[in-house]
Amino acid sequence: MWKFIVRRLLITFPQIVFLSVLVFVMAQFMPGDALTGLIDPNVSPEALEIQRERLGLNNPWYVQYGDWVGGLVQGDLGQSFRFKMDVTALISERVMNTILLSAVSLFFTYIIAIPLGIVSGRYNDSPLDSFITGYSYLGFATPIFIFALVMLWVFGFILGWFPTSGSVAPGLDAGTVEYYISKLYHSLLPGLSIALISVVSTIQYLRSEIVDTKQRDFIVTARAKGASENRVYNKHIFRNSLLPIAAFFGWEITSLISGTVFVESVFSYPGMGLLFLESVTQRDFSVVTALVLLFGIASILGALLSDIILSIVDPRIRIK
């Protein structure tokens, strides 16, 4: 299995290199450069040209790419012109928020989806299953930003159970216990909003896998051994049905990290999604480029994680 993981890791490396080239080339195609937005319009074109030469902007693209990658590996992603600070510092502030939000919504997703999926699959076509499936269709049809607004309105404003914006209460010092509790508290409502919508696909996957697996021949073998229904479900059907869910797990993380844009803006939650949205609308290109690269790396790592999980749970994948 270790061999498989190492091999899989080795494939990941060229993928990331290729991604960085792609992101860099796309950034080059964008009109303007670092100086067009940054400089006082009264500066003479000659002075600009001198600056361009000094900053290496007239070099061929591969030299510039080399400079860019050189900066990347040292953690230098450039400057945000809007925030007037290093992109690295800007993003690292947001990354933790997004990771926290993703973890919270993942937790809620699986804690809700797995029991519902099991019930729905085991007692398929029962009234309970119809109810759960009905909820799934509703969830599929509901746009997340509308749902998040309703959640915010009901639990944030009317009931006042949860804070309505931000990622931490003002006036708390980083590092104290209260600070972390406040962080978690702020992530609960957006996390739950994401989870209640994203559970539906997991429920339906699990349900259809269970319905499928329980008709397989080895289930008959298990029954013929004298295993009780509960044992058949727990030992044979459940694990086999989890395979696609496990395969989905890495992808789920990726989509959470890059896909919480709407929820973050509804809850004014300072995560990467919100930052991305703002940077695009305000043409803060160095931030956009860095984020696109980061999201890309996240999805490559997500796929890697999925493969590793799958190789652990499914012996057929392990390569000798």
Partner 1 sequence: MSNELLKIKNLKTSFRIGDEYYAAVDDVTLTLNKNEVLGIVGESGSGKSALAFSIMRLHTRAKIEGEISLNNQNIVQMSKSKLNKIRGDEMAMIFQDPLTALNPLMPIGRQIEETLFLHNKKLGQQGRKERAIELLNLVGILRAERVYEQFPHELSGGMRQRVIIAIAIANDPELLIADEPTTALDVTIQAQILDLIRELKEKIHAGIILITHDLGVVAEMADRVAVMYAGQVVEIAPVDRLFENPLHPYTKSLLNSVPTEGQDRLHVIQGVVPTLKNLPRTGCRFAERIPWVDASHHEDNPTLHEVESGHFVRCTCYEHFYFPDNKEELENGIS
| Footprint on this chain of partner 1 (rule: CB under 8 A) | 216-218, 220-229, 235-236, 239-240, 313-316
Nearer to partner 1, 36 or 221 (CB): 221
Q: How far, in Å, CA of 183 to CA of 262, rounded?
A: 19
* DSSP symbols for 97-151: HHHHHHHHHHHHHHHHHHHHHHHHHHTTTSHHHHHHHHHHHHHHHS-HHHHHHHH
**Which of 273, 242, 279 lies closest to 255 in space, CA to CA?**
273
Nearer to partner 1, 84 or 320 (CB): 320
DSSP 3-state assignment of 80?
Answer: strand
* DSSP symbols for 250-266: HHHHHHHHHH-HHHHHH
Q: Closest approach of Cβ 317 to partner 1, in Å? A: 10
Q: Closest approach of Cβ 230 to partner 1, in Å? A: 11
Q: Closest approach of Cβ 314 to partner 1, in Å? A: 7
Q: Closest approach of Cβ 206 to partner 1, in Å? A: 16
Nearer to partner 1, 62 or 218 (CB): 218
Nearer to partner 1, 67 or 314 (CB): 314
CA–CA distance from 56 to each of 43, 65, 72 (Å)? 19, 11, 16
Contact 254, 299 (CB under 8 A): yes
Nearer to partner 1, 89 or 235 (CB): 235
Q: Closest approach of Cβ 217 to partner 1, in Å? A: 4
Q: Closest approach of Cβ 302 to partner 1, in Å? A: 23
Nearer to partner 1, 186 or 214 (CB): 214
How far does CA 232 lie from the centroid of its chain? Answer: 35
Q: How far, in Å, CA of 1 to CA of 12, rounded?
A: 17
